[in-house]
Protein backbone atom coordinates (compact mmCIF):
# COMPACT_ATOMS: atom_id res chain seq x y z
CA UNK A 1 0.00 0.00 0.00
CA UNK A 2 1.30 3.39 -0.94
CA UNK A 3 2.09 5.79 1.88
CA UNK A 4 2.76 3.04 4.40
CA UNK A 5 6.40 2.39 3.58
CA UNK A 6 8.72 2.74 6.54
CA UNK A 7 11.18 5.60 6.37
CA UNK A 8 14.40 5.76 8.33
CA UNK A 9 17.65 7.68 8.28
CA UNK A 10 20.71 5.80 7.07
CA UNK A 11 23.29 8.60 7.22
CA UNK A 12 23.67 12.07 8.67
CA UNK A 13 26.18 14.78 7.84
CA UNK A 14 26.45 17.92 9.93
CA UNK A 15 26.84 20.89 7.58
CA UNK A 16 26.92 24.08 9.68
CA UNK A 17 24.98 25.98 12.34
CA UNK A 18 21.75 23.97 12.72
CA UNK A 19 21.74 22.37 9.28
CA UNK A 20 22.26 18.69 8.48
CA UNK A 21 22.15 16.55 5.38
CA UNK A 22 20.14 13.40 6.01
CA UNK A 23 20.12 10.32 3.79
CA UNK A 24 17.02 8.14 3.97
CA UNK A 25 16.57 4.45 3.25
CA UNK A 26 15.14 5.21 -0.20
CA UNK A 27 18.40 6.97 -1.13
CA UNK A 28 16.89 10.47 -0.93
CA UNK A 29 19.12 13.16 0.57
CA UNK A 30 17.43 16.07 2.30
CA UNK A 31 18.95 19.20 3.79
CA UNK A 32 17.24 20.34 6.98
CA UNK A 33 17.60 23.53 9.00
CA UNK A 34 16.61 22.34 12.45
CA UNK A 35 16.53 25.76 14.14
CA UNK A 36 12.82 26.42 13.37
CA UNK A 37 11.99 22.91 14.65
CA UNK A 38 13.66 23.33 18.05
CA UNK A 39 10.58 24.18 20.10
CA UNK A 40 9.43 22.85 23.43
CA UNK A 41 11.17 21.89 26.65
CA UNK A 42 13.09 18.94 25.22
CA UNK A 43 14.37 20.80 22.15
CA UNK A 44 15.10 24.26 23.63
CA UNK A 45 18.57 23.24 24.97
CA UNK A 46 19.55 22.29 21.41
CA UNK A 47 19.45 25.95 20.39
CA UNK A 48 22.96 26.03 21.89
CA UNK A 49 25.00 24.89 18.87
CA UNK A 50 27.54 23.14 21.11
CA UNK A 51 24.71 20.96 22.42
CA UNK A 52 23.05 20.61 19.02
CA UNK A 53 26.10 18.90 17.56
CA UNK A 54 25.98 16.21 20.27
CA UNK A 55 23.88 13.77 18.24
CA UNK A 56 24.12 10.18 17.10
CA UNK A 57 22.54 8.09 14.38
CA UNK A 58 20.27 5.38 15.78
CA UNK A 59 18.85 2.51 13.70
CA UNK A 60 15.89 4.78 12.70
CA UNK A 61 16.65 8.45 13.26
CA UNK A 62 19.06 10.87 14.88
CA UNK A 63 19.01 11.36 18.63
CA UNK A 64 20.63 14.04 20.76
CA UNK A 65 22.52 13.71 24.01
CA UNK A 66 19.36 14.54 26.03
CA UNK A 67 17.16 11.90 24.36
CA UNK A 68 15.46 14.33 21.96
CA UNK A 69 14.66 12.98 18.52
CA UNK A 70 12.30 13.49 15.59
CA UNK A 71 10.30 10.89 13.72
CA UNK A 72 12.15 10.14 10.48
CA UNK A 73 8.92 10.58 8.49
CA UNK A 74 8.58 14.11 9.86
CA UNK A 75 12.15 14.97 8.90
CA UNK A 76 11.66 13.45 5.46
CA UNK A 77 8.85 15.92 4.79
CA UNK A 78 10.60 18.89 6.42
CA UNK A 79 13.77 18.61 4.39
CA UNK A 80 14.68 20.13 1.06
CA UNK A 81 15.87 17.63 -1.55
CA UNK A 82 19.63 18.00 -1.89
Question: Which parts of the chain sit beneath pLDDT 50?
Answer: 1
Torsion of the alpha carbons at 11, 25, 57 and 36, rounded to the nearest 10: 90
List the domains of the chain with CATH numbers.
9-81 (3.30.2020.10)
For residue 1, what pLDDT is reported? 33
Question: Global pTM?
Answer: 0.91
Which residues lie below 8 Å from residue 6, measured CB to CB, with a gap of 6+? 25
Q: What is the pLDDT of residue 5?
A: 81
Q: Say what the pLDDT of residue 2 is.
A: 54
> How remote is the C-alpha of 4 from its chain's centroid?
20
* Predicted local confidence at residue 4, as pLDDT: 59
Amino acid sequence: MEGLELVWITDVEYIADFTMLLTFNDGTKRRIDFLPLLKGKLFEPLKDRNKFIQFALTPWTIEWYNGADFAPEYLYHQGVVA
